[in-house]
Structures are given as structure tokens and as C-alpha cells.
Amino acid sequence: MLILHCPYCGVMADETELHGGGEAHLTRHGPGSSDEDFHDYLFAKENPRGVHFERWRHVQGCGKWFHAARDTATLEVFGTYPAQTTEPPKAIRKAITAKRPGWTWRGFSDPAK
Amino acid sequence: MRRYSAFAIAREAARYHSGWGKAWSSPEPKKKYDVIIVGAGGHGLATAFYLGRNFGITNVAVIEKGWLGGGNTGRNTTIIRSNYLQDPSAAIYEKSRSLYETMSQDLNYNVMFSPRGVMMLAQTQAEVRGYLRTAQANALQGVSTRFIQPAEVKKLVPIINLDGPRYPVLGALWQDRAGTARHDAVAWGYARACSDMGMDIIQQCEVTAVRREGGRVVGVDTTKGAIDCDKLGIVVAGNSGVMAERAGFRLPIESVALQALVSEPIKPCMDVVVMANTVHGYMSQSDKGEMVIGGGADGFNNYTQRGSFHHIEETVRALVETFPMVSRLKMLRQWGGIVDMTGDRSPILSKTPVEGVFINGGWGTGGFKATPGSGWAMAELMAKGHSPLTDEFSMWRFKEGKFIDESVAAGVAH
Ligand SMILES: Cc1cc2nc3c(=O)[nH]c(=O)nc-3n(C[C@H](O)[C@H](O)[C@H](O)COP(=O)(O)OP(=O)(O)OC[C@H]3O[C@@H](n4cnc5c(N)ncnc54)[C@H](O)[C@@H]3O)c2cc1C
Ligand SMILES: [Zn+2]
């Protein structure tokens, strides 16, 4: 069972309390964008074997959306953080670097670089 | 290759089974092949088989990072059916189902195809309407299915509880030519036939990179060294995204865990496959007597080949409501596989941005049934550059809005 810390209400929430919302930090391309960008936004999701950033909702708790940084090959959780951001906070990126040196995910990587 | 037959069994019985020989050889890789297939699951092996059988292309290697058939091919619940909604799906799944009918003879290998019938229960009014529509669509597609009433459901499945407290059975979509087959045997049978045609099946060898020159594939790097090829087929199910990245392109696919479980063996009690999509559970009985059980996929990206326990609980809860007698059964084993999900729940059989590289993936929770048809179509695509069975399943269909929407027909994992 996946257990994630809800950064809003502070609860360590079981997976059964949560709802996965897919890839985090999407740029929502809309009308006027190129076909490529619109397609990639809707369908070409990141699907890494390793470090991944995703959205979760604390449905059976406070009801709020937050973000999690996780390893899809080990189920290790590097940290969670509020959703009001367009990029993972430095502390989270550092925590990932400590365990997965050299990681990258879309445009993001080790904050020291 | 020595043929398997009743005579061979008698011959071997008379000499203590000393003469069977290996079913396939395990050679070291050559420097170059005309075609390399990545992934020795059922689909990869079937692709190789039909490249040889239908197109005479036998300078082929199938490269597998683990053991052949150890991916989803050896982890699925073996349901075979072709009662999909959209025409392109009906074409490839029905082709596949029909190939299963003669597979044991074609491969000289008993794959235990058992056309015992598959029943999809309708437990809401929306499902009744949905399956009535599917039955009509199937009639137009030449796929034999029909909508049956609760009394007939009970006659076919005496252990079912029609008046479930929450979701009474209102009818079912019934395909009497659908059924099950022995999953390992499908992989083993193809492997033996491929080996017999002179193809190399290379196990314990991971493809780590796709070498390209001027936008064209020239070979692969593997844990057993570099191997050249003219054409490359990527047939790696849950690892499609990983392999696509190694080839330099992206796929509209996400990987999640899907679980299944089997009970202790019991006396025969159910001789059809029953799927209950609303309550998320399905069940059949294996020839050994085990109840084979599956349910819905887990809800987040995962490569660990294991899932969350609460999904098992949900599945079993649904089945206890539907089949009260299973409440006393002990479960023997549970496992997970990584399934490759697309946005419209239909597969991708396609050329790719890299010249000479072809992809076959996105079968998600329901590709075992498609194994022979997928191999047939993929071989044609790779040999001729196009196949009538794959045209609609291009990886670019999402951009064009040409979805092959099977989210209704495949409402639950199977
Ligand atoms: C629990 C469960 C139940 C299911 N139930 C059903 C069902 O009832 N009916 C149905 O029709 N379908 C079902 N499915 C789906 C079905 O199992 C799959 O769609 C199908 O088996 C996929 O076959 P494949 O040959 O494409 O993949 P696989 O059998 O997974 O083969 C892919 C192979 O590629 C190898 N590979 C990956 N990466 C590399 C690499 N880099 N280098 C070399 N090799 C690599 C893997 O090791 C693997 O052996 C189920 C799946 C699961 C998990
Ligand atoms: Zn909360």
C-alpha cells in the first residue's frame, strides 16, 4: 500500500484515501497551440521507469490536490509538496539527487546543476 | 524438429523419455540479422513466427531480457474473446480468435484452446444498453455474439447469484466461441516453431540502446554486445515507454500494475468464463480446478510487477457477491504484471519516427487474446510496410482524433 504525506492536512494517507491524478507540472496547451503541443499535452505522458512526478488528491481527507515525487521502479517516495507551483521545490529535487544522482525528468534535474 | 504426436508419446514411454530433446535452441547472437524483435512474449514470438511463415523472413532474432513468456504472457488470466465494439478492433481480435482455433495443429503444440464461451454480465441499465449495442455491432462485423436474459445466464452458470443486493444480473453479452488457452504453451509453441525455422531466441539479454544513422535503425546495443539489423520490432508491453525512449521517440502509453490470483483447486463448478465489469471482477476455472480471478488495474504508474492489496480485496468482494460459494475458497497465489495503457484502450501497431523501427504495444489489460492476430498483422506491417489490420492502429491516431474507443468494451481488465 502506497502511503503519502498530505502537505495540507499533515496526514500520512493510505492509498485508499487518495486518488491518483497522473503526471504533474503539465503545461496545458489550449486553443492556438500547435497540433504537436496539444497532442503531447493530452496523450504523450511521461512514463519513466524511475523518478516520476505526479498529482494526487486527498479525496477521503481534506479533498485537496498535491504533488508527489516517487520512483516507479521501487515505489520509494522522495517527498510530497503543495500543488501551487510550476516546478518541484529545491528541497525535493535535492532529496531525489541524494538517492538518484544524475536524475532528470522533462526539464527538471539536480538543483546543483 | 521432432514432431509431437500420440506415437511419439508411446515411443518415449518405451525408452524412459530419453529422446525428447530441447524444444528450442539457445544460441549466442550473430553479428547481424535482417529483423530483430525486442521482447519474447507471445506477441514478439508470434511476430517472428509469421515473418517466417507468411513472408519467408527467417534471419530473425528475438531478444528477451528475462526468460521467454515471463512477462505479461505468463501472468495473464488467458481470456480470449473478440466481442469489441469498433470495426478495427473486431477485425484484429476476431482474426486472432480464429487463429487460436487451429493453433495447436499449426504449431504442433497443445495450447489447450478451450472455446468454452465468455459471458459479460450486464448489471446496470447502462450496461444492458451498451451490450445490446455491442451485440448489434458484432452482428454487422460478422462476430457471433448475442445478448442473453438472466434465466439463460443462470442455466449456463448455476453457481451465480442473479439477485445480488446491489447489482442484480440483468442479462449478459455471450460469445460462445470465446474461451481460454494455456498462456505459457502459446509462448513455448511459437518459440519452438521459430527455432525450427532457424531463428535465434536469445534470452537473458536486455536491449539497452537502439543505434541509428541518419534517422534509420542500424542495430541495437545489448547486454551481450552490439547486434546489427535492418528492421527492428519493439514488442515489450509494459516497457514500451522505456524502449521508445531508447529509440528516441515518445509514445502515448502509461504503465500500471494489473493483478490476478488463483484459488486452491476444487471440483468442476463453472465451465464458462464470467466477467462482471460493473463490480470489477472476473473468474474462470482452470483445467486443474483452480478458480482464476482478475479485476481492475491499479491507479498509478508502476514498474514493480506487484500491486496494491486493496485491489485484490475489491475484486474478491465483488466475486463473493456474484458467486456466494467462493467465499470459503482459499487463495493460492497472487501476482502482478505491468500493462501498457493507451488513452483509447486500443493497441498501437505502427511505424515510428525512426525509419525501420516498428512498435507493437499498448495492449494493456487485454492482449493475450490478440497474440496470434497481433503477430500476423505486425509481421505483415514489418515485411510490407503496411497491413490492413494495423492501418487504424497507428501511433499518430491520437493527434488526428481518430480514436478506437474501447473503454466501454474493456471496462474491466482482461
Ligand atoms: C494480471 C493480468 C491479467 C491479464 N488477463 C488477460 C486476459 O484474461 N486476457 C487477455 O487477452 N489479456 C490479458 N492480460 C493482458 C496480456 O497479458 C498482455 O496484453 C499480453 O500478454 C502482452 O503480450 P506481449 O507479448 O506483448 O508482452 P509480454 O509477455 O510482457 O512480453 C514482453 C517481453 O519483453 C521483454 N522486454 C522488455 N523490455 C526489454 C528489453 N529492453 N530488452 C529485451 N526484452 C525486453 C519482457 O521481459 C517481456 O518478456 C492480462 C495481463 C495481466 C498483467
Ligand atoms: Zn489532506
- CB count within 10 Å of CB B53 equals 18
pLDDT tens digits, B304-327: 999 999 999 999 999 999 999 999
Same domain, B261 and B248: no
Query: What is the predicted pLDDT for the residue at B347?
Result: 98
**Domains of chain B: total:** 2
* Ramachandran area for residue B168 (φ above 0: left; ψ -120 to 50: alpha; else beta): beta
Query: What is the predicted pLDDT for the residue at B166?
Result: 87
Cell of B230: 535492418
The residue behind cell 488467458 is B78
**Domains of chain A: total:** 1
Q: Are the C-beta atoms of B36 and B5 separated by less than 8 Å?
A: no
- In a domain, residue A33? The reply is no
Give which of B206, B196, B188 is closest to B74, Cα–Cα: B188
- In a domain, residue B13? The reply is no
Query: What is the predicted pLDDT for the residue at B408?
Result: 58
pLDDT tens digits, B247-300: 999 999 999 999 999 999 999 999 999 999 888 899 999 999 999 999 888 889
Give the CATH number of the domain where residue A85 resides. 3.30.2270.10
Pick the atom of ligand 1 nearest to B369's CA. Answer: 11
CA dihedral for B182, B183, B184, B188, sign (positive or negative) = positive
Mean residue pLDDT across chain B: 95
Which one of B297, B325, B342 terminates a domain?
B342
pLDDT tens digits, B179-217: 999 999 999 999 999 999 999 999 999 999 999 999 999
Cβ neighbors of A36 (< 8 A, separation 6 or more) are B399
Same domain, B172 and B270: yes
Complex ipTM, two decimals? Answer: 0.95
The boundaries of the domain holding residue B65 are 28-109+182-252+344-400
Query: What is the predicted pLDDT for the residue at B302?
Result: 96
The boundaries of the domain holding residue A92 are 3-25+39-99
Using the mean position of ligand 1's atoms as its centre, give its distance from the Cα of residue B365 in Å: 9
Of A15, A20, A44, the CB nearest to B252: A44
Question: How much is the average pLDDT of B114-131?
Answer: 96
Q: Are the C-beta atoms of B373 and B96 separated by less than 8 Å?
A: yes
The residue behind cell 454480465 is B121
Burial-class residue A27 by CB neighbours within 10 Å (0-12, 13-18, 19+).
Answer: exposed
**Residues of B whose CB is below 8 A from A15:** 299, 308, 310
**Taking CB atoms and a 6 Å cutoff, what residues make up the pocket around ligand 1?**
B 38-44, 63-66, 70-73, 75-79, 206-207, 235-237, 239, 243, 258-260, 294, 337, 339, 363, 365-369, 414
Question: How much is the average pLDDT of A14-35?
Answer: 94
pLDDT at B410 exceeding the cut of 60: no
SS3 B393: helix
Nearest ligand atom owner, CA of B261: 1
A90 to chain B, any CB pair closer than 8 A? The answer is no
Distances (CA, A) of B184 to B73, B112, B365: 7, 10, 17
Looking at the DSSP bridge assignments, the partners of residue A65 are A57
pLDDT at A61 exceeding the cut of 90: yes
Distances (CA, A) of B340 to B46, B164, B235, B241, B363: 19, 33, 11, 8, 6
Q: Are the C-beta atoms of B199 and B52 separated by less than 8 Å?
A: yes
pLDDT tens digits, B335-370: 999 999 999 999 999 999 999 999 999 999 999 999
Q: DSSP character for A100? A: S
- Touching B: A residues 12-71, CB under 8 Å: 15-16, 19-20, 22, 35-36, 39-40, 42-45, 47-49, 52, 54
- In a domain, residue B49? The reply is yes
Question: How much is the average pLDDT of B68-94?
Answer: 97
- In a domain, residue B81? The reply is yes
Query: What is the predicted pLDDT for the residue at B164?
Result: 85
pLDDT tens digits, B367-395: 999 999 999 999 999 999 999 999 999 99
- Enclosing H/E stretch for A88: none
Residue type, position B236, single letter:
V
pLDDT at A113 exceeding the cut of 80: no
pLDDT at B411 exceeding the cut of 70: no
Query: What is the predicted pLDDT for the residue at A99?
Result: 97
Query: Residue ranges of the alpha helices (H) in B200-250?
Result: 240-247
